[in-house]
Structure 1
Amino acid sequence: MTSAIDPPPPAALRLIATDLDGTLLRDDKTVSDRTVAALAAAEKAGLEVFFVTGRPARWMDVVSDHVHGHGLAICANGAAVADLHADGKLVKVHPLERDIALDVVRTLRAAAPGTSFAVELATGIHYEPVYPPFHLDPGATVAIAEKLLHEETPGTGAPVLKLLAHHAELTPDDFLDLAGTAAGDLASFTRSSPTALLEVSGPGVSKASTLALCCAERGISPAEVVAFGDMPNDVEMLRWAGTSYAMGNAHPAALAAASGRTASNDDDGVAVVIERILAERRTPGSAL
């Protein structure tokens, strides 16, 4: 088991920002009793906790019982802020414009033949016939991306939160590199899946950009934030936070971006650091 490695938690910590899959959640998609207790103790100590994930709001049931205080979560890699106290109602959206999404589709079809697409709307996900099906979303429309992105009247469709692009033959990192080279000037590209599945957001939209906005609204600076993550879609957030930890199971890009490293998700790496933070706060004479 890997213990938390330097740096020490910030002296003026006010907010904990954590990814879910591969980070807060164990591999079986549960939250351990130890982590539940650590989250509750952090809130009791006056620290805000933000879940910051690539998941859509409708897939947040795994942690909705553990959201205290404000009840907000940053979803879809920063494209939406959801109120989990109100059944995942979206309170803010940073959309991918449909014309940009169509340009990305055309560009990736040419650069990586065989790419298939899904479209994550504020109202749910829809995908192409050859795209790996979403068994959690049986009501999805199945059609080509151009049809899924079409609006009868411009501006009347549900906001596009992100575009998903899948390739059956390329490696995940090669696909990300290729897409960034071909269409990186159009949108933001990242990934969080072990397969060649890319997540495409609006230009400049990331976990970090939306977390920064939420923190600014609360008068919280990056130096007062500690962040946790494990995959390329966490890189910007790990760099933005004053203190950040990559999980012991993290992708090399996340390890390089973080200022520290903790135990793996299955070894409760987030709880390890939170417990350390709270213990130092209770230590007489501590700066925390």
Structure 2
Amino acid sequence: MDLSQIKMVVTDMDGTLLNSNHQVSDKFYQLYEELKKRDIKFVAASGRQYHSIIDKLAPIKNEIIVISENGGFAMQHGKEILVTPLPNKTKNEIISLLNGVKNIHLVLCGKNCAYISKESSLFEQKLKEYYSNYELLDNLSAYDGEIVKIAIYHFESSEKYIYPKVFHLEDELQVKISGANWVDISSKNANKGYALEKVMKENNIKPHELLVFGDYNNDLEMLALADYSIAMENAHPNVLKLANYSTSNNDNYGVERILEKLIASK
């Protein structure tokens, strides 16, 4: 694997750059400084909220590119690159569809704030890990502001309990199992790959200059853009099948090990 031509590094957050305690390692920040010296751009691409991502990467938040909400919203150095909203009509149709499904929790994801039902007190504690800015609403259907994604959470399994209820929407919408407990629904063009294409164009990056890390199905489109696509050892089988290379898991410095090779190649 010759990484000498890489000009941009893109990594998912949960299950990839973050360890199982949702932390960024000190080693990563040391390696980031070496990337910066070599003029290699860094992109954090996540299903997380924008503010949650920059909270996790606070020491470098003003220097990096952020693709948030699974590609529904992207920022570079304070400049909005992309926003792909979900129509209000579609939002209410999805809420109606899921009304009555037991043990699921909905999050309406705006660019700067997320919204959940006041009835979700237990879920609110879990939400705090992924959403820094959120509000409680009496009625999600009544909210008519701009949202870029609906995230749906199940405490046991998103693939088993949520996806079967919504997979039929895939012809018209982006429906992604984005983690063991999450399914995300957004506009058809709101995915990490679509957003990354915009970022690549903005920064004049070609596929052979791109290094991408991912672990779940919401990473597939962006992994497909890179000649150097890396699956985590802990990745979903679909990711392991698609990626051109693999690395160790997120608790064993999988991203950092490849970044060390990248820096050595320069």
2:139 corresponds, among 139, 144, 167, to: 144
2:201 corresponds, among 201, 216, 221, to: 216
CA contact (8 A) 2:116 2:134 kept: no
CA contact (8 A) 2:208 2:227 kept: yes
Provide the rounded CA distance (Å) in 2 between the counterparts of 1:22 and 1:219.
Answer: 28
Partner residue in 2 for 1:34: 27
Structure 2: give runs of 5+ residues left out of the alignment.
none
- Tell me which structure has the larger Cα radius of gyration: 1
Provide the rounded CA distance (Å) in 2 between the counterparts of 1:181 and 1:55.
Answer: 21
Partner residue in 1 for 2:113: 124
CA contact (8 A) 1:245 1:262 kept: yes
Provide the rounded CA distance (Å) in 2 between the counterparts of 1:180 and 1:139.
Answer: 24
TM-score (norm. length: structure 1): 0.80
Change (3 A) 1:46 1:269: same
Instruction: Report whether the alignment pairs 1:162 with 2:140.
Output: no
Provide the rounded CA distance (Å) in 1 between the counterparts of 2:241 and 2:165.
Answer: 21
2:59 corresponds, among 61, 65, 74, to: 65
1:19 corresponds, among 2, 12, 29, to: 12
Structure 1: give runs of 5+ residues left out of the alignment.
1-7, 152-156, 282-288
CA contact (8 A) 2:176 2:218 kept: yes
Provide the rounded CA distance (Å) in 1 between the counterparts of 2:98 and 2:251.
Answer: 36
SS in 1 for 2:180: coil
CA contact (8 A) 1:19 1:228 kept: yes
Instruction: Report whether the alignment pairs 1:252 with 2:252.
Output: no
How far did residue 15 of structure 1 move?
Answer: 0.8
Provide the rounded CA distance (Å) in 1 between the counterparts of 2:21 and 2:80.
Answer: 27
How far did residue 245 of structure 1 move?
Answer: 0.8
Provide the rounded CA distance (Å) in 1 between the counterparts of 2:147 and 2:40.
Answer: 32
- Superposed structure 1 runs of 4+ greater than 6 Å apart: none
Provide the rounded CA distance (Å) in 1 between the counterparts of 2:165 and 2:187.
Answer: 14
Alignment of 1:105-120 (within 5 A): 105-109=95-99, 115-120=104-109
Provide the rounded CA distance (Å) in 2 between the counterparts of 1:234 and 1:78.
Answer: 10
Change (3 A) 1:138 1:275: closer
Provide the rounded CA distance (Å) in 1 between the counterparts of 2:38 and 2:231.
Answer: 24
1:174 corresponds, among 128, 135, 160, to: 160
CA contact (8 A) 1:108 1:182 kept: no
Q: Percent identity at matched positions? A: 24
CA contact (8 A) 2:45 2:68 kept: yes
Instruction: Report whether the alignment pairs 1:43 with 2:32.
Output: no
Q: With CA pairs under 8 Å and 6+ residues apart, which has the higher RCO, 1 or 2?
A: 1
Instruction: Report whether the alignment pairs 1:95 with 2:102.
Output: no
Change (3 A) 1:175 1:48: same
TM-score (norm. length: structure 2): 0.86
Q: Deviation per CA, 1:123-152, whole angstroms, max 9, x where unpaired?
A: 31111244422346686122333123xx3x
Aligned residues: 259
Change (3 A) 1:249 1:240: same
Provide the rounded CA distance (Å) in 1 between the counterparts of 2:263 and 2:155.
Answer: 45
How far did residue 67 of structure 1 move?
Answer: 4.5
